[in-house]
Structure 1
Amino acid sequence: MSTPFDTPDWRSMSRQDRDLGLNNGVAVPASADIVAGWDKRSVEMRARHSSHLDLRYGPRERNRIDFLKAADGAPTLLFIHGGYWQARAKETFTVFAGGPMAHGINVALIGYTLAPDATLDEIVAEIHAGLDFLVAQLPDLGGDPDRIGVSGWSAGGHLTSMALSHPSVKTGMAISGIYDLEPIRHSYLNIKLGLDKEASQRNSPMMQAGGVLKPLSLVAGSAELPLLRKQTADFAGHRARYGLPVTYEEISDANHFTIMNEMMLREGRITTLIRQLFERV
């Protein structure tokens, strides 16, 4: 759980270097093509699982959940998309339900209002509202409301860590997340987020004493930007120091986008970790 040796201190970086150090699109030139592939395969998967799409959990346009059923009475994984809280949509990520569903795990994908139309406090509240809705609906949908896990990628990894405190959530799987928002607050990403110091602290798990006593798996790619690898390593160390259940690993040679291949596949490493987490609850 040590910090990657090549990680600079963000406080000593120029604004330009800090911005580049957080910009995954620039770091992975093929990212647009990769995401386009996700979109294409997700359209096909949504067509195969069209019975319970766009279930409305709140009043705002993006307050919708897609539920993909693998088996009656099965556990459910709520997946939270990334995009630095200001881009992308749940529809792009449907393809990643394939890995967990191959092991009999239902998958729900949640949408949420993006910044600047919502503050980060409001986005976190929307995820909790979506979980309230999902718990109430799972008996009719065919899932087990007593076995819910959360997962997410990038900003969704952060929202996973914030959703772990929901009383019905039993476990979490956070992928390439952000757990200390101070570097974000001092970067180009804050133009739309509008974080002040207090909001950053409220929404940074790394700034809290302790945390939630539930199993959490953390992963990042070994080829990701050093600042983001550090986020995951430091958060794993934070949880370990407080005696909270955590596993941490880097996926060899994976960048911020190719790491998601490990959830798309039945035998992918992230899929395996998700399956193992549900075996504990």
Structure 2
Amino acid sequence: MTTPFDAPDWRELDQQALDRGLNNGAAVAGSADIVAAWDRRSAELRTRHSAHLDLRYGPAERNRIDLFKVADKAPTLLFIHGGYWQMRAKENFALFAEGAMAHGINVALIGYTLAPEAGLDQIVAEIHAGIGFLAARLPDLGGDGQGIVVSGWSAGGHLTAMALSHPDVRAGVAISGIYDLEPIRHSYLNVKLGLDEAASRRNSPLLQPGGAMKPLSLVVGSAELPLLRKQTADFAGHRAAYGLPVSYEEIPGADHFSIMNEMAQPDGRITKLIRQSFERTAG
């Protein structure tokens, strides 16, 4: 649970350095092309698995869930997309269901209202509402009814950590997440998020005493921005200090985008962590 040796203290950075230290798109060459390829592959998967798209769990436009079903009575993974709570949509990430689906796991992707239309409190509440809706519907849709494993990338990693307290969640796999929102609050990202200190702190898993007594796997790429590597390492240490089940690892050579290959591939490391999360929490 060591802090990356090259990770600065964000409080000591000037505004330009802090903003640059959180800008994943600028840090990875060709990131726009990578995301465009995600979109194309995701559209293809949604075409092949179109039976349970846009299941509405709430009144807002983005309160919808896509379920990609591979078998009756199969376990269910819920994936929460990233985009710093203000970009992208569930439709862009369907391809990352493929790794788990290859092992007989049904995969759901959840949408949520983006900032500035919604603040973090509302976004977290929507995720909890969607989990409750999905858990209640799974017996009719073909799920095993034994609870949901939640995973998410970037902002979705944060929302994964925030979702652990839901009674229908059995474990989490958080990828390249943000667990202390205070640096976010002081950066360019807060223009749309509109966080004040109170909202930042109550929505920061790293700043809460304790947490849910459920397994959480924390993953980050070794080639990611140092501030994000530090977030993951610090949160792993936080959970360990409170005696909460946690694992931490860095994917060698992976950046903020290429790390997701480990979820898209059936033999990927993140796919394996997801499978282990089901195995370790089987009823």
TM above 0.5, yes or no, is yes
State the superposition RMSD in angstroms. 0.5
Distance in 2 (alpha carbons) for counterparts of 1:138 and 1:50: 17
1:148-190 deviation per Cα after TM superposition (whole angstroms, max 9, x unaligned): 1100000000000000000010000000000000000000000
**Which residue matches 1:26?**
26
- Which letter maps to 1:258? S
Please identify, of 118-127 and 135-144, the stretch whose mean Cα deviation from structure 2 is larger: 135-144
Distance in 2 (alpha carbons) for counterparts of 1:144 and 1:194: 39
Distance in 2 (alpha carbons) for counterparts of 1:15 and 1:145: 48
**Which residue matches 2:158?**
158
Distance in 2 (alpha carbons) for counterparts of 1:280 and 1:75: 13
User: What stretches of structure 1 move > 3 A for 4+ residues in a row?
Assistant: none
**Which residue matches 2:258?**
258
1:2-56 deviation per Cα after TM superposition (whole angstroms, max 9, x unaligned): 0000001100000000000000010012110110110000011001100000000
**Which residue matches 1:193?**
193
**Which residue matches 1:11?**
11
Trace 1:176-191 onto structure 2 (pairs within 5 A).
176-191=176-191
Distance in 2 (alpha carbons) for counterparts of 1:119 and 1:36: 27
Trace 1:234-245 onto structure 2 (pairs within 5 A).
234-245=234-245
Trace 1:18-167 onto structure 2 (pairs within 5 A).
18-167=18-167
Task: Note the C-alpha offset of 1:95.
Answer: 0.1
- Which letter maps to 1:211? G
- Which letter maps to 1:210? G
Please tell me whether residue 268 in structure 1 is matched to residue 268 in structure 2.
yes
TM-score, L = length of structure 1: 0.99
1:95-140 deviation per Cα after TM superposition (whole angstroms, max 9, x unaligned): 0000001111110000000000001000000000001110111011
Distance in 2 (alpha carbons) for counterparts of 1:151 and 1:96: 11
Trace 1:209-220 onto structure 2 (pairs within 5 A).
209-220=209-220
Q: Percent identity?
A: 76
- Which letter maps to 2:87? A
Distance in 2 (alpha carbons) for counterparts of 1:274 and 1:245: 15
Distance in 1 (alpha carbons) for counterparts of 2:231 and 2:136: 34
- Which letter maps to 2:80? I
Distance in 1 (alpha carbons) for counterparts of 2:88 and 2:144: 29
**Which residue matches 1:172?**
172
Distance in 2 (alpha carbons) for counterparts of 1:211 and 1:146: 21
Please tell me whether residue 225 in structure 1 is matched to residue 235 in structure 2.
no
8 Å contact from structure 2 (residues 53, 67) kept in 1: yes
TM-score, L = length of structure 2: 0.99
Gaps of 5+ in 2: none
1:228-263 deviation per Cα after TM superposition (whole angstroms, max 9, x unaligned): 000000000000011100000000000000000000
Secondary structure of 1:248's counterpart equals: strand
Task: Note the C-alpha offset of 1:144.
Answer: 1.8
- Which letter maps to 2:252? S
Task: Note the C-alpha offset of 1:147.
Answer: 2.9
1:68-109 deviation per Cα after TM superposition (whole angstroms, max 9, x unaligned): 012111110110000000000000100000000111111000
Gaps of 5+ in 1: none
Distance in 2 (alpha carbons) for counterparts of 1:52 and 1:209: 38
